Amino acid sequence: MPTRKVDYLLIGGGLASGNCARWLREEGADGEVVVIGREPDPPYNRPECSKGYLRGEESREETYFRPNDFWEQ
């Protein structure tokens, strides 16, 4: 199995990891930040999902904690 070294590995794709990734960038962390989770989507606001998205009032992307391009950086 190949090995990969990263500077910051965040386990779990929820808001805690999302906030941590954002905080690392805001504090000037230059290293690679990797968030590992079971869901295919980036961190999203789960209460918003259960309210607006499931009622058809919001798009899937509107529930994301940060835009998709934030996670690709």
Strand intervals (E) in the chain: 8-11, 33-36
pLDDT (tens digit, 0 to 9) for every residue of the chain, 73 residues total?
Answer: 889 899 999 998 888 888 899 999 999 999 999 999 888 877 776 666 667 778 888 887 777 777 777 777 6
Question: Shortest CA distance to 8 belongs to which of 25, 32, 44, 39?
Answer: 32
Number of domains in the chain: 1
The burial class, CB within 10 Å (0-12 / 13-18 / 19+), for 38 is exposed
Domain assignment present for residue 3? The answer is no
Domain assignment present for residue 25? The answer is yes
Q: How far apart are CA 49 and CA 33, in angstroms?
A: 25
Is the pTM higher than 0.75? The answer reads no
Only one residue has tokens 């905080």, namely 23
Domain assignment present for residue 1? The answer is no
Domain assignment present for residue 43? The answer is yes
Domain assignment present for residue 46? The answer is yes
